[in-house]
């Protein structure tokens, strides 16, 4: 990382108006110490200001309202296109923009991933929710240039005990990861907690698709692994905002991409996959979930 030179009596880079020596000097020294030890550390560009955090929270308010509305309306016999319609109605109704729409050519406003679909299921009038399905609804919103991102699982009708357990354990994996979001610890501590809980339950975690920094852009640094080792990956510093979004598979962690649409990811063995996602802020004392 590169620190530009700030004089000790110059205004702090964070915009507080205080002198650097009275503001972030000690903080930067602490980061620099970890960098000297060979750790990956965030640049200032990844540290959100109080204004940024307020902007992300306002965006997240829409994102969570969308998922709350989907939770109210989702039912057997409905198409995933109807879910996309709900996302558009609530998002635009509250003044936001669905971040998925046209993102790298993505054709819809939300991802709807059923059973053996790991992620990036594309809403369609032809895909009808059936009794026993498990579905992930992954939603992202832009408001005033600020991005929010979260996803939840829904069980349609009578879901088998095995699939219900996958959904519940995946949520626990996310919670175990969140417990490790502690300032001046490492992202690898978080990813390892996710992975260990999945393994202990006989599941596997997708390795090559991960979470991401999120807030001023949809996908920012760092890339967030859910299968990493303790003490590795980027240092977690107060002000960082990223997603935790483990995809947990009942069978193999391996997957393949839909050749026709270039988006949808399926489990290689056809067994089910579940995912939950939150967007989290690292604080001075721990963390705050901004979007869920
Ligand atoms: N919401 C996804 C994530 O968690 C990204 C979906 S990109 C899309 O990062 F284009 F598929 F919508
Ligand atoms: Co995400």
Q: What is the pLDDT of residues 117-159, one digit of tens each?
A: 999 999 999 999 999 999 999 999 999 999 999 999 999 999 9
Mean pLDDT of 3-29: 91
Residue with tokens 């995933």: 80
Pocket of ligand 1 (CB under 6 A): 100, 103-104, 106, 111, 120, 138, 140, 149, 243, 245, 263, 277
Atom 6, ligand 1: residue with shortest CA distance: 100
What band does 6 get if pLDDT is binned at 50, 70 and 90? confident
Confidence of residue 262 (pLDDT cuts 50, 70, 90): very high
Q: Which atom of ligand 1 is nearest to the CA of 100?
A: 12
Q: Nearest residue CA, atom 12 of ligand 1?
A: 100
184: left (phi over 0), alpha (psi -120 to 50) or beta: left
Taking CA atoms only, the protein residue closest to ligand 1 atom 5 is 100
Q: Is this structure's pTM higher than 0.75?
A: yes
> Contact at 8 Å (CB) between 28 and 41?
no
Mean pLDDT of the chain: 97
Measured CA angle at 175 (ends 226, 274), to 5 deg: 60
pLDDT tens-digit series, residues 199-240: 999 999 999 999 999 999 999 999 999 999 999 999 999 999
204 phi and psi angles, rounded to 5 deg = -125, 150
pLDDT at residue 2 in the model: 57
Q: Which ligand is located closest to the Cα atom of residue 98?
A: 1
């Amino acid at each position: 990382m590169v620190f530009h030179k700030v004089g000790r009596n110059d205004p702090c880079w964070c915009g507080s108006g205080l002198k650097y020596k009275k503001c972030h000097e000690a903080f930067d020294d602490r980061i620099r110490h970890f960098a000297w030890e060979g750790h990956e550390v965030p640049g200032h560009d990844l540290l959100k200001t109080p204004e940024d955090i307020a902007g992300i929270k306002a965006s997240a308010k829409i994102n969570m309202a969308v998922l709350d509305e989907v939770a109210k309306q989702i039912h057997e016999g409905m198409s995933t296109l109807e879910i996309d319609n709900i996302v558009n109605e609530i998002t635009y109704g509250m003044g936001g923009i669905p971040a998925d729409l046209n993102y790298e050519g993505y054709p819809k406003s939300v991802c709807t991933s059923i059973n053996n679909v790991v992620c990036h299921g594309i809403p369609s009038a032809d895909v009808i929710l059936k009794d026993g399905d498990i579905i992930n609804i992954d939603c992202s919103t832009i408001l005033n240039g600020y991005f929010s991102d979260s996803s939840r699982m829904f069980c349609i009708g009578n879901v088998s005990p095995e699939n219900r357990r996958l959904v519940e354990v995946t949520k626990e994996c996310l919670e175990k990861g969140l417990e490790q979001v502690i300032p001046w610890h490492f992202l690898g501590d978080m990813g390892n907690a996710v992975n260990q809980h999945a393994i202990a339950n006989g599941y596997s975690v997708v390795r090559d698709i991960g979470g991401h920094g999120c807030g001023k852009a949809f996908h920012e640094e760092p890339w967030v692994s859910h299968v990493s080792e303790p003490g590795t990956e980027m240092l977690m510093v107060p002000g960082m905002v990223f997603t935790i979004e483990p995809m947990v598979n009942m069978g193999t962690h391996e997957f393949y991409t839909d050749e026709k649409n270039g988006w949808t990811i399926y489990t290689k063995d056809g067994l089910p996959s579940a995912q939950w996602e939150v967007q989290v802020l690292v604080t001075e004392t721990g963390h705050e979930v901004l979007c869920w």
